[in-house]
Structure 1
Amino acid sequence: MPDPSDADNPKSLAWVVRAVKAWVERCGAVWVQAQVIELNRRSGPTQFLTLRDIDEEVSVTATCHRRVLDAAGPVETGMTVTALLKPTVWSKTGRLSFECSQIRPSGEGQLLAQLERRRRLLEAEGLFDTSLHKPLPLLPAGIGLITGAHSDAERDVIRNAGLRWPAVRFVVRNTLVQGPRAVEQILAALAELDADPGVDVIIIARGGGSLEDLLPFSDEALIRAVFAARTPVVSAIGHERDNPILDLVADLRASTPTDAGKRIVPDVAEEAALVAECRTRIRQSVATLVATEQTRLEGLRSRPVMVDPTATLDIAAERLSTTVSRLRMAAEHGLDACTHQIDQYLTQIRAMSPKATLDRGYAALADDHGDSVSSVEQVTTGGRLMAYLADGQLGLLVESATPTASRTPAEEQS
């Protein structure tokens, strides 16, 4: 084999890179502890991150699959991790790089990863569904407060709530707020306050702290107890940057204990101003209504029937008088027509009356029985008759009865 340093027999660059690549990759994978100083998440499967030694100014660029980051939990810049790295050389550029196949957060990063897995599990069960959150009462009769004894959080909540509503009543339960026994005491206080009918809302408060100090407020037992509580629960843990899992299951998340004191009760000054404004609006509405009704009443009073109530009666009386006059005229016309018709009937009757015949000089004969005599055949000689004249009666004695000779048809026709 020729000497690789012989200038007369140079090796190709690709040969050198392949040789270096083969030598480097013989090192195999190794677990290292380092700090993540840069993390570039991309849309593709390959992700890039820069790791730096914890003690020395040494940093390397590493690549990993998206699944590695997802499995590690919340990996963020500045976090200390334990990573399984395998050195490799890019054939095209000869650049040294490291392939990361596993990442395990260390210290706070490990805690964050555990909390993230717990958060995902509880979220999958629906414990963080905001539609299940219970509304807070407008003005609670009693407020349960779970916090450390003589703590700033206790003073902040009570002082700020009292400034807004001086008559506010607190039922305080002091417990440990960090350490292994904190969860047990907080659970007992929560159960006691939840069973108290005089408590309308419960605040769990702490004035911030490190990630380890706030671990009790991400405990699974506490999260499930808050979810099952019948009384609305307010989480007031730490500051804006502190986000224990309790914040997700609580019915209301306050950024600080001070914020919780301001949000659980209304401001008495604001409420008084609102009441005054409502009273002013009511007065204005009543005044407007009265003015409207007054205008309507004046309009009604200005109508003719209200100005002179007898006007309608006069009109009705006039109509009644006209109707009566018409009825009288119609009755008179009817009577005149009937009188005229009766006169005509009387004239006709009188013309046909026997008395009219008697007035013209004729007489009516009747026998002894009062039956009229119209033929000589009805009387006998020597019989008595009664003759009725226009001005009296005559008694007659029949001396003879001579019938008139019957006329021939030719005479009757002539």
Structure 2
Amino acid sequence: MTEPTAPPGPDAPAGPAGAARRELAATAAQTTPENPWPLRLLSVKVGEYVARMSPIWVEGELVQLNRRPGSGMAFMTLRDADVDMSFSVPVRENVLRTLSIDLVPGARVVIHAKPTFWTKRGSLQLEADDIRPVGLGELLARLEHLRRVLAAEGLFDASRKKPLPFLPGVVGLVCGRESAAERDVVVNAQRRWPAVRFAIREVAVQGDKAVREVSAALKELDADDEVDVIIISRGGGSLEDLLPFSDEQLVRLVARAQTPIVSAIGHEIDTPLIDLAADVRASTPTDAAKRVVPDIQAEAEQLQLGRSRLRTAIRGRLEHEQAALDAIRSRPVLDQPASILAGRADELRSHLSLARTIARARLDRADDDVRHLARQVRALSPLATLERGYAVVQDADGTVVRSPEAVAVGAALSVRVAGGRFGAERTAHDPYTPPLEPGAVSAAAGAPGGGTHTGTDLVTDPDHPQETA
């Protein structure tokens, strides 16, 4: 490599081609105040030295992880756990995909990386080709595995979440002893709804006793019928401090509780597993107080607004109905109700007159039919026949005489005429001689058996009168 030369010094001799250039030191030990290295040469020298370094294993805490979709690269920022020092670590996406857990800020990792030095920027970075979670990372890996197991069982499903009561009578509170979280919850809740009551259980929220005491307090409050909602609250802390609230037994106890549970553990960025199993997750204890009780001032304003809207709606409805009623009353049929009756009365009188005319015509026609039938009956009656001069002759037994030969000479007969009955006797000769018309030829009168009747006789059966020739 050809080393750059420095610009001429103040005592450098001048030549015909310009100022002479001094020779730079070959190594860092040969530099002097009169012959220093320029920064660009130092950057090159450092880059050459770093390039000769072997890949190394480095431990650090993950501060940030930025993924760049489509580029196949991600960029991590690692810092030392004890001092304020950080490095940028580019890593390929395929390396991240080999991990069994998702890297989150705060995880401790050990990376296998090749140091590289950017000469233009004078910055050192580590190009990682392997990542292994250790320490806190291993803890996060176990928590992530437990989270996946419990999620597969359905303990975190939204369908099993219970709604919070609108106005709880008694609020159960599980918190640390004389903790700021307790004051935040109680003070903010009573400020929002002064009548709220609390059933407070102060327990250990950190250390070996935390899981046992929090579980016991939760069971006690869940069994109390007066408690309508339970808040489990704790202030912020490190991941190790919040570990009790990711205990599997406690998470399962929260999931199967009958009383709605609000989890307010740590700060917004803290997410213990109890937050996933609880019915409602509050970002802070103050947020939990706001979620369990309504704001009396806001509710009063809403009530006033609702009453105002109700009055407006009722007034509008009444005005609408009054306008509709006025429109109906202004119609002619209601303004002068007799007008519609007068029209109907005329129509009724017309129908009555028509009905009388039709009925009278039908009666007249029926009267004519009756008279006609009466004339027919009289014409067909045997009495009418007798009135025309005919008679009915019967013997002593009542048998109608139909032939002269049927009655012996001298037999007593009964003759019925239109005016009544009288008796007669059968003679050998008929005393009646009909008058002869001029030019008529007289015929011998009388039959071989004798009798007094000639011409046409009418013989009538009393039961079935008929006319014979």
- What band does the TM-score fall into relative to the shorter chain? 0.5 to 0.7
Asked if 1:33 is matched to 2:59, the reply is: yes
Q: Which amino acid in 2 is paired with 1:33?
A: E
Residue number in structure 1 paired with 2:424:
none
Return the structure number with greater helix share.
1
From 72, 85, 101, the equivalent of 2:130 is 101
Identity %: 40
- Structure 2 counterpart of 1:139: 167
Structure 1 residues 78 and 366: alpha-carbon distance in aligned structure 2, compared to 1, 3 A threshold: closer
Inter-partner Cα distance in structure 2 for 1:83 and 1:390: 153
Offset at 1:74? 4.7
Match in the other structure for 1:336: 368
Asked whether the 8 Å contact 1:62–1:100 carries over to 2, the reply is: no
Matches within 5 A, 1:53-202: 63=91, 66-67=94-95, 71=99, 73-75=101-103, 81-85=109-113, 99-106=128-135, 111-202=139-230
Rate the CA distance shift 1:161–1:401 in 2: closer, same or farther, 3 A.
same
Q: Could you tell me how far apart the structure 2 residues matched to 1:201 and 1:213 are?
A: 25
Contact in 2 for aligned 1:208/1:237 (Cα 8 Å): yes
Q: Map residues 2-401 of structure 1 onto 2, 5 A cutoff.
A: 30-34=56-60, 39=65, 41=67, 49=76, 63=91, 66-67=94-95, 71=99, 73-75=101-103, 81-85=109-113, 99-106=128-135, 111-272=139-300, 273-274=302-303, 276=307, 279-280=310-311, 283-284=314-315, 287=318, 291=322, 302=334, 319-320=351-352, 322-339=354-371, 342=374
Separation (CA, whole Å) in 2 of partners of 1:78 and 1:345:
130
Deviates more, 1:258-267 or 1:45-54: 45-54
Check 1:217–1:137 CA distance in 2 against 1; reply closer, same or farther (3 A cut): same
Indicate if the aligned counterparts of 2:77 and 2:86 stay in contact, CA closer than 8 A: no
Q: Deviations over 1:202-252 (max 9, x none)?
A: 111123233333232222222121112121111112332332222222111
Q: Please say which of residues 131-140 and 41-50 is displaced more in the overlay.
A: 41-50
1: CA distance, partners of 2:189 / 2:333? 58
Distance 1:348 1:197 in 2: 109
**3-state secondary structure, aligned to 1:262:** helix
Q: Please say which of residues 174-183 and 262-271 is displaced more in the overlay.
A: 262-271
Alpha-carbon distance between aligned partners in 1 of 2:282 and 2:214, rounded to the nearest angstrom: 18
2:289 maps to a residue whose letter is G
1:316 and 1:82, CA in 2 relative to 1: closer, same or farther beyond 3 A?
same
Root mean square deviation, CA, Å: 5.7
- TM norm structure 1: 0.64
SS at match of 2:227: coil
CA distance in 1, matches of 2:381, 2:147: 129
Structure 2 spans left out of the alignment, 5+ residues: 1-47, 118-123, 420-427, 434-442, 447-454, 456-469
CA distance in 2, matches of 1:75, 1:315: 96
1:288-307 C-alpha deviation (Å, 9 max, x unpaired): 79659957985898399888
Change (3 A) 1:312 1:162: farther
| One-letter amino acid of the structure 2 residue matched with residue 164 of structure 1 | R
Seen in structure 2, the aligned counterparts of structure 1 residues 335 and 218 have a Cα distance that, compared at 3 Å, is same
> Equivalent residue of 1:200, what SS?
strand
1:190 to partner: Cα distance: 0.5
Q: Does the 8 Å contact 2:203/2:214 carry over to 1?
A: yes
TM-score by length of 2: 0.58
Unaligned runs of 5+ in 1: 1-19, 90-94, 359-364, 392-399
Task: Map Cα deviations across residues 51-86 of structure 1 (whole Å, 9 max, x no partner).
Answer: 566669795856567446763745456765433456
CA contact (8 A) 1:178 1:213 kept: yes
After superposing the two structures, state which structure 1 stretch, 178-187 or 341-350, moved more. Answer: 341-350
Distance in 2, matches of 1:310 and 1:127, equals 81
Deviation at 1:174, TM superposition (A): 1.6
Identify if the C-alpha distance between structure 1 residues 294 and 269 changes in structure 2 by more than 3 Å, giving closer, same or farther. Answer: farther
Q: Which amino acid aligns with 2:228?
A: D
Letter in 1 for 2:261: V
Q: 1:325 to 1:292 in 2, by over 3 A?
A: same
Counterpart amino acid of residue 294 in structure 2: P
One-letter code of the match for 1:406? A
CA contact (8 A) 1:81 1:103 kept: yes
Change (3 A) 1:300 1:176: farther
Residues matched between the structures, number: 373
Q: Deviations along 1:252-297, whole A, 9 cap, x unmatched?
A: 1112222221222333444443452574377458737965995798
User: 1:207, 1:165 → 2: CA distance?
Assistant: 23
Report Cα offsets for 1:144-191 as digits up to 9, x if no partner.
111123433223323333333333232221222223322221111101
Residue pair 2:386, 2:417 contacting (<8 A) in 1 also: no
